[in-house]
Amino acid sequence: MAELYELDLSSASEGLKAGKFSPEELFDSCWKRAQSCEKNIRAFITETEDFAREQLKNSGKSSSIFDGIPTVLKDNLCTQGIRTTAASKILGNWRPPYDATVWKLLRESGAILMGKVNMDEFAMGNTCGNSAFGATRNPHDISRVPGGSSGGSAAAVAAGYVPFSLGSDTGGSIRQPASYCGIYGLKPTYGMVSRYGLISYGSSLDQIGPFARTVRDLQLVMQLLAQHDPMDSSSFREKNPDFTHNPNVNLKGKRVALVKEFQSFTLDAPISDAMKHVEKILEDEGAIITEVSLPIISKYAVACYYALAMSEAHTNLERYDGVRYGYTVQDAKGIKEMFERVRSYGFGSEVKSRIIAGTCLTEPSRCEEYYVAATKVRTLIAQEFARAFENTDFILQPVTPSLAPKIGEVDEDEMKGYETDLYTLPVNLAGLPGLSFFTGYAGKLPVGLQLIGARWSDPELLNAGVVLERRLGSPKIADGGVE
């Protein structure tokens, strides 16, 4: 008989509603599983067992599918009264006075918060190793990275801590960890999910999204979260997305494109083999495989992204000054010294480098040449995607060119960390939805790919994921390094 922690969100909710087990029993199973794996995976920054057990006292009073279901949140999502760090020393022991909208919706629906999980500091990184709290490890092989920046959120779901979690994606930070950890992750259309209460990295690029072990669970989470929020000026208004699960959905007549400019890129054999396998499945399901050319994106997207992201990071991180909240010093000889000491100690090296780059890019003498130029190129990138989606429904491509690397490999070769950029960053520049989906295993390591859709096509994108999951199978829970 399966352990309760092995249940997905849908099955766990059905079991609770049928009285097969209690919310306490479900939580205890998940908590025990988390504790047995945590010494190896190190996903948590803050464990919230006491808070969760207080929440459990009110479970069973809601008809919501989330009532009594444990979850974890990336630690850049604000939780009222619960430490929120963005994996940085500069926030110290900060406890927000308000909830992020996404957590407010889940909390009011009865979800149980098991803890806040690790990430690259201020979401800047792709290994979940740039953290003031140490590195998180891949639950399929603890010698490897789980991906970043939402590595803790992905690892917790893959290892069976919780059936679903939330992360954020500024340039691939949901899709890459989902791929490395062998689960499903959705980067929604920009504006589909409220960003209120998300600690910002790049405000025009950041988007909150879910991780889960089934596509149906992604649909359930999105059905709750995809609603207008007046607290977020970028939140959609006149959209009524329907994420209802349809197990009989099909792909007949759907046009799925491969990017012409990406065909000459080198992929490791497991990724290349997965692409060919999925192409065959799509054709068998009645989809039409086509080709799309994205010359502007392939040539300019990476430079455009970094000019914008670092400029926005420079602006967003100005607020961390040691005055209003977070880490401060009491014995500084003047404001200048206080700022220098707070920011020198509080920020890690990756964050400092991006702030410095953003400062240079937005200087009056350079702003027109770099930042303003990048905003214009971004418009061209969005237009190029829009033209492509006039004649295709989805774009199929890798998330990364290789499987999860060993811990430290990216540090030894910094360019290795940028190899995936062209597969992930353009989606954020254009505000498109991207689904990272599980395709199988190469040895013990999972292999993932991604489907990209047009703006606001999130429900259709997940429907395509349902078909692929039906053919490819669902992932197994990782062993988490536990013998």
Query: What is the pTM assigned to this prediction?
Result: 0.97
Residue type for position 351: V
Do 109 and 159 fall into the same domain? yes
CB 149 within 8 A of CB 173: yes
Q: Spot the catalytic one: 13, 29, 59, 74.
A: 74
Do 342 and 399 fall into the same domain? no
CB 7 within 8 A of CB 163: yes
Residue 279 within a domain: no
Do 109 and 30 fall into the same domain? yes
Do 434 and 356 fall into the same domain? no
Q: Looking at 42-91, list the stretches that DSSP marks H as alpha helix, in order from N- to C-terminal side.
A: 49-56
How many CA within 13 A on the CB side of residue 211? 35
At 449 the pLDDT is 98
Which residues span the domain enclosing 143?
A: 4-255+391-472
The rounded distance, in Å, linking the Cα atoms of 124 and 105 is 26
Residue 481 within a domain: no
Residue 241 within a domain: yes
Which has the closest alpha carbon to 202: 428, 418, 432? Answer: 428
Provide the number of structural domains found in the chain.
Answer: 2
Instruction: Show pLDDT as tens, one digit a residue, over the chain (483 residues).
Output: 689 999 999 999 999 999 999 999 999 999 999 999 999 999 999 999 999 999 999 998 889 999 999 999 999 999 999 999 999 999 999 999 999 999 999 999 999 999 999 999 999 999 999 999 999 999 999 999 999 999 999 999 999 999 999 999 999 999 999 999 999 999 999 999 999 999 999 999 999 999 999 999 999 999 999 999 999 999 998 778 999 999 999 999 999 999 999 998 999 999 999 999 999 999 999 999 999 999 999 999 999 999 999 999 999 999 999 988 899 998 999 999 999 999 999 999 999 999 999 999 999 999 999 999 999 999 999 999 999 999 999 999 999 999 999 998 875 555 555 567 999 999 999 999 999 999 999 999 999 999 999 999 999 999 999 999 999 999 999 999 886
CB 461 within 8 A of CB 394: yes
> Which residue is it, tokens 């960053």?
425
Do 111 and 148 fall into the same domain? yes
Is residue 116 helix, strand or coil?
strand
Do 312 and 414 fall into the same domain? no
At 414 the pLDDT is 57
Task: Let me know if 74 is a catalytic residue.
Answer: yes
Do 337 and 397 fall into the same domain? no
The rounded distance, in Å, linking the Cα atoms of 423 and 30 is 34
Task: Let me know if 457 is a catalytic residue.
Answer: no
Do 363 and 438 fall into the same domain? no
Residue 291 within a domain: no
Do 67 and 153 fall into the same domain? yes
Q: Spot the catalytic one: 13, 88, 165, 173.
A: 173
Q: Spot the catalytic one: 10, 13, 88, 149.
A: 149
Cβ count near 86 (within 10 Å): 31
Cβ count near 457 (within 10 Å): 20
At 412 the pLDDT is 59
Residue 86 within a domain: yes
Residue 266 within a domain: no
At 419 the pLDDT is 63
| Chain mean position to CA 483 | 29
CB 258 within 8 A of CB 423: no
Residue 260 within a domain: no
Do 125 and 231 fall into the same domain? yes
At 415 the pLDDT is 56
On the question of a cis peptide bond just before residue 149, with omega within 30 degrees of 0, the verdict is yes
Do 130 and 189 fall into the same domain? yes
Cross-strand bridge partners of residue 185? 211, 436
At 238 the pLDDT is 77
Residue 307 within a domain: yes
CATH code assigned at 163:
3.90.1300.10
At 325 the pLDDT is 86
Do 341 and 453 fall into the same domain? no
Task: Let me know if 474 is a catalytic residue.
Answer: no
